[in-house]
Amino acid sequence: MPCLLLKGRSLVKTVCFRDVSYIGDPLNAVRIFNEKQVDELVIFDITATIENKEPDYDLIAKIAEECFMPLCYGGGIRTIDMIQKILNSGVEKIVVNSQTVKNPKFIRQAADQFGSQSIIVAIDVKKNQWGNYTVYSHGGRKNSKIDPVVHAQLMAEMGAGEIILTSIDREGTWAGYDYEITRRVAAAANIPVIASGGAGEVLHFYEAVQKGKASAVAIGSMAVYHDKGQGVLINFPDHDMLKAVLN
Protein backbone atom coordinates (compact mmCIF):
# COMPACT_ATOMS: atom_id res chain seq x y z
CA MET A 1 0.00 0.00 0.00
CA PRO A 2 1.32 3.51 -0.79
CA CYS A 3 2.10 5.56 2.29
CA LEU A 4 1.88 9.28 1.52
CA LEU A 5 3.14 12.11 3.71
CA LEU A 6 1.49 15.48 4.14
CA LYS A 7 3.09 18.69 5.33
CA GLY A 8 0.40 21.30 5.46
CA ARG A 9 -1.58 20.71 2.27
CA SER A 10 1.38 19.48 0.25
CA LEU A 11 2.51 15.97 -0.53
CA VAL A 12 6.12 15.48 0.60
CA LYS A 13 8.72 12.74 1.08
CA THR A 14 11.35 12.33 3.76
CA VAL A 15 14.52 10.31 4.30
CA CYS A 16 14.91 8.83 7.80
CA PHE A 17 12.09 11.17 8.89
CA ARG A 18 14.20 14.20 7.87
CA ASP A 19 15.18 15.98 4.63
CA VAL A 20 11.66 16.90 3.51
CA SER A 21 11.20 17.14 -0.27
CA TYR A 22 8.14 18.56 -2.02
CA ILE A 23 6.29 16.07 -4.22
CA GLY A 24 3.08 17.79 -5.31
CA ASP A 25 -0.67 17.95 -4.80
CA PRO A 26 -2.08 15.04 -2.75
CA LEU A 27 -5.40 15.07 -4.61
CA ASN A 28 -3.69 14.55 -7.95
CA ALA A 29 -1.70 11.68 -6.46
CA VAL A 30 -4.87 10.02 -5.19
CA ARG A 31 -6.48 10.26 -8.64
CA ILE A 32 -3.48 8.50 -10.19
CA PHE A 33 -3.54 5.75 -7.56
CA ASN A 34 -7.22 5.24 -8.37
CA GLU A 35 -6.26 4.54 -11.99
CA LYS A 36 -3.56 2.14 -10.89
CA GLN A 37 -6.08 0.16 -8.81
CA VAL A 38 -4.18 0.38 -5.55
CA ASP A 39 -5.64 -1.84 -2.81
CA GLU A 40 -5.36 0.61 0.08
CA LEU A 41 -3.89 4.05 0.75
CA VAL A 42 -2.31 5.48 3.92
CA ILE A 43 -1.97 9.23 4.52
CA PHE A 44 0.16 10.69 7.34
CA ASP A 45 0.24 14.34 8.37
CA ILE A 46 3.85 14.54 9.59
CA THR A 47 3.55 17.91 11.37
CA ALA A 48 0.17 17.71 13.13
CA THR A 49 1.49 16.14 16.34
CA ILE A 50 4.74 18.13 16.38
CA GLU A 51 2.83 21.40 16.01
CA ASN A 52 0.08 20.23 18.40
CA LYS A 53 -2.64 20.98 15.88
CA GLU A 54 -5.77 19.09 14.93
CA PRO A 55 -6.01 17.14 11.69
CA ASP A 56 -7.01 19.13 8.61
CA TYR A 57 -10.55 17.75 8.41
CA ASP A 58 -11.37 19.68 5.25
CA LEU A 59 -8.39 18.25 3.35
CA ILE A 60 -9.05 14.76 4.72
CA ALA A 61 -12.64 14.94 3.46
CA LYS A 62 -11.48 16.07 0.00
CA ILE A 63 -8.97 13.22 -0.18
CA ALA A 64 -11.60 10.69 0.96
CA GLU A 65 -14.01 11.98 -1.69
CA GLU A 66 -11.42 11.44 -4.42
CA CYS A 67 -10.22 8.09 -3.12
CA PHE A 68 -11.83 4.97 -4.62
CA MET A 69 -9.94 2.57 -2.35
CA PRO A 70 -9.93 2.08 1.47
CA LEU A 71 -8.22 5.08 3.07
CA CYS A 72 -6.27 5.26 6.33
CA TYR A 73 -5.33 8.55 7.98
CA GLY A 74 -2.83 9.30 10.75
CA GLY A 75 -1.43 12.46 12.29
CA GLY A 76 -2.37 14.52 15.34
CA ILE A 77 -5.03 12.09 16.58
CA ARG A 78 -5.38 12.28 20.35
CA THR A 79 -9.11 12.25 21.18
CA ILE A 80 -12.14 10.11 20.45
CA ASP A 81 -13.90 13.13 18.92
CA MET A 82 -11.06 13.52 16.40
CA ILE A 83 -11.46 9.89 15.37
CA GLN A 84 -15.21 10.37 14.96
CA LYS A 85 -14.74 13.41 12.72
CA ILE A 86 -12.19 11.64 10.54
CA LEU A 87 -14.29 8.48 10.14
CA ASN A 88 -17.33 10.63 9.36
CA SER A 89 -15.39 12.19 6.48
CA GLY A 90 -15.22 8.86 4.66
CA VAL A 91 -11.95 7.46 6.00
CA GLU A 92 -12.12 3.72 6.78
CA LYS A 93 -9.26 3.46 9.28
CA ILE A 94 -7.34 5.81 11.56
CA VAL A 95 -3.69 5.47 12.54
CA VAL A 96 -2.48 6.48 16.01
CA ASN A 97 1.17 6.83 16.95
CA SER A 98 2.36 9.30 19.60
CA GLN A 99 -0.81 9.09 21.69
CA THR A 100 -0.23 5.35 22.18
CA VAL A 101 3.03 6.14 23.97
CA LYS A 102 1.46 8.84 26.13
CA ASN A 103 -1.74 6.93 26.90
CA PRO A 104 -1.84 3.26 25.75
CA LYS A 105 -5.41 2.87 27.05
CA PHE A 106 -6.55 5.32 24.40
CA ILE A 107 -6.42 2.44 21.92
CA ARG A 108 -8.75 0.40 24.12
CA GLN A 109 -11.22 3.31 24.22
CA ALA A 110 -11.02 3.76 20.46
CA ALA A 111 -11.35 0.05 19.67
CA ASP A 112 -14.33 -0.33 22.02
CA GLN A 113 -16.14 2.56 20.33
CA PHE A 114 -15.23 2.10 16.67
CA GLY A 115 -14.09 -1.52 16.43
CA SER A 116 -10.59 -2.93 16.14
CA GLN A 117 -10.89 -3.10 12.34
CA SER A 118 -10.83 0.73 12.26
CA ILE A 119 -7.86 1.25 14.58
CA ILE A 120 -4.26 0.94 13.40
CA VAL A 121 -1.25 1.64 15.60
CA ALA A 122 1.88 3.06 13.96
CA ILE A 123 5.13 2.10 15.68
CA ASP A 124 8.25 3.97 14.57
CA VAL A 125 11.49 2.28 15.62
CA LYS A 126 15.15 3.14 15.61
CA LYS A 127 18.18 0.96 16.24
CA ASN A 128 20.95 2.29 18.49
CA GLN A 129 24.68 1.63 18.30
CA TRP A 130 24.33 -1.44 20.54
CA GLY A 131 21.75 -3.00 18.26
CA ASN A 132 18.76 -2.35 20.50
CA TYR A 133 15.47 -1.08 19.09
CA THR A 134 13.43 1.71 20.67
CA VAL A 135 10.03 3.22 19.91
CA TYR A 136 10.13 6.88 18.85
CA SER A 137 7.17 9.27 18.82
CA HIS A 138 6.44 12.82 17.59
CA GLY A 139 7.69 12.20 14.09
CA GLY A 140 10.81 10.37 15.23
CA ARG A 141 11.90 13.19 17.52
CA LYS A 142 11.20 11.69 20.95
CA ASN A 143 12.80 8.50 22.23
CA SER A 144 10.21 6.78 24.40
CA LYS A 145 12.77 4.18 25.58
CA ILE A 146 10.04 1.57 25.07
CA ASP A 147 10.86 -1.80 23.52
CA PRO A 148 8.84 -2.09 20.26
CA VAL A 149 8.07 -5.76 20.87
CA VAL A 150 6.61 -4.96 24.29
CA HIS A 151 4.71 -2.00 22.84
CA ALA A 152 3.30 -4.11 20.00
CA GLN A 153 2.07 -6.75 22.45
CA LEU A 154 0.39 -4.08 24.56
CA MET A 155 -1.27 -2.46 21.54
CA ALA A 156 -2.67 -5.82 20.47
CA GLU A 157 -4.02 -6.36 23.99
CA MET A 158 -5.58 -2.88 23.91
CA GLY A 159 -7.53 -3.82 20.79
CA ALA A 160 -5.56 -2.48 17.82
CA GLY A 161 -6.52 -4.18 14.58
CA GLU A 162 -3.18 -3.77 12.80
CA ILE A 163 0.32 -2.39 13.32
CA ILE A 164 2.28 -0.31 10.82
CA LEU A 165 5.91 -0.85 11.79
CA THR A 166 8.32 1.72 10.31
CA SER A 167 12.10 1.61 10.53
CA ILE A 168 13.27 5.21 10.86
CA ASP A 169 16.78 4.16 9.84
CA ARG A 170 15.52 2.63 6.58
CA GLU A 171 12.75 5.09 5.65
CA GLY A 172 13.39 6.69 2.26
CA THR A 173 16.69 4.85 1.73
CA TRP A 174 15.55 2.23 -0.85
CA ALA A 175 17.72 -0.29 1.08
CA GLY A 176 14.98 -2.77 2.01
CA TYR A 177 12.86 -3.25 5.10
CA ASP A 178 14.32 -4.08 8.50
CA TYR A 179 13.36 -7.74 8.49
CA GLU A 180 14.76 -8.45 11.96
CA ILE A 181 12.50 -6.12 13.93
CA THR A 182 9.56 -6.87 11.64
CA ARG A 183 9.92 -10.57 12.37
CA ARG A 184 10.21 -10.00 16.12
CA VAL A 185 7.15 -7.76 16.28
CA ALA A 186 5.11 -10.05 14.02
CA ALA A 187 5.95 -13.02 16.24
CA ALA A 188 4.96 -11.17 19.40
CA ALA A 189 1.74 -9.55 18.22
CA ASN A 190 -1.31 -11.61 17.32
CA ILE A 191 -2.50 -9.02 14.79
CA PRO A 192 -1.33 -8.19 11.23
CA VAL A 193 1.94 -6.26 10.96
CA ILE A 194 2.56 -4.01 7.96
CA ALA A 195 6.24 -3.51 7.17
CA SER A 196 7.21 0.07 6.31
CA GLY A 197 10.41 1.96 5.64
CA GLY A 198 13.05 1.09 3.06
CA ALA A 199 11.30 -0.50 0.08
CA GLY A 200 13.35 -0.06 -3.08
CA GLU A 201 12.23 -2.92 -5.33
CA VAL A 202 9.46 -5.48 -5.57
CA LEU A 203 11.76 -8.20 -4.21
CA HIS A 204 11.79 -6.34 -0.89
CA PHE A 205 8.03 -6.98 -0.61
CA TYR A 206 8.61 -10.70 -0.90
CA GLU A 207 11.43 -10.59 1.64
CA ALA A 208 9.32 -8.62 4.12
CA VAL A 209 6.69 -11.35 4.00
CA GLN A 210 9.08 -14.33 3.90
CA LYS A 211 11.88 -13.10 6.17
CA GLY A 212 10.03 -10.52 8.22
CA LYS A 213 6.74 -12.45 8.47
CA ALA A 214 4.83 -9.26 7.65
CA SER A 215 1.19 -9.55 6.62
CA ALA A 216 1.49 -6.63 4.19
CA VAL A 217 3.91 -3.92 3.10
CA ALA A 218 3.77 -0.14 2.72
CA ILE A 219 5.81 1.86 0.21
CA GLY A 220 6.81 5.51 0.24
CA SER A 221 9.60 6.48 -2.16
CA MET A 222 8.61 3.81 -4.67
CA ALA A 223 5.14 5.38 -4.82
CA VAL A 224 6.27 8.94 -5.57
CA TYR A 225 9.58 8.67 -7.44
CA HIS A 226 10.48 7.16 -10.81
CA ASP A 227 13.51 5.48 -9.23
CA LYS A 228 16.18 6.20 -6.65
CA GLY A 229 17.83 9.54 -7.38
CA GLN A 230 15.35 10.30 -10.17
CA GLY A 231 12.40 12.64 -10.56
CA VAL A 232 8.92 12.67 -9.07
CA LEU A 233 6.51 10.19 -10.61
CA ILE A 234 3.39 8.97 -8.84
CA ASN A 235 3.94 5.27 -9.27
CA PHE A 236 2.81 1.79 -8.29
CA PRO A 237 4.24 -1.61 -9.29
CA ASP A 238 2.44 -3.43 -12.06
CA HIS A 239 0.07 -6.11 -10.74
CA ASP A 240 1.56 -8.79 -13.00
CA MET A 241 5.00 -7.96 -11.62
CA LEU A 242 3.70 -8.23 -8.06
CA LYS A 243 2.12 -11.61 -8.74
CA ALA A 244 5.28 -12.92 -10.40
CA VAL A 245 7.47 -12.03 -7.41
CA LEU A 246 5.08 -12.75 -4.56
CA ASN A 247 3.92 -16.08 -5.95
Catalytic-labelled residue, pool 45, 56, 124, 169? 124
Which DSSP state fits 153? Answer: H
The Cα 172–Cα 68 span in angstroms is 26
| DSSP bridge partners of 165 | 123, 195
Spatial distance between the Cα atoms of 92 and 237, rounded to a whole number of angstroms: 24
Residue 148: partners with Cβ closer than 8 Å, 6 or more residues away: 123, 125, 133, 134, 135, 165, 181, 184, 185
C-alpha 129/C-alpha 132 separation (Å) is 7
Strand bridging mode 3-7 / 10-15: antiparallel
Which residues, at least 6 apart from 151, have a Cβ–Cβ distance to it below 8 Å? 100, 101, 123, 135, 144
From residue 35, give the alpha-carbon distance in Å to each of 31, 39, 213, 225: 7, 11, 30, 17
2 DSSP 8-state letter: B
Q: Does 124 participate in catalysis according to the annotation? A: yes
Is the CB of residue 187 less than 8 Å from the CB of residue 148? Answer: no
Residues assigned a catalytic role: 124
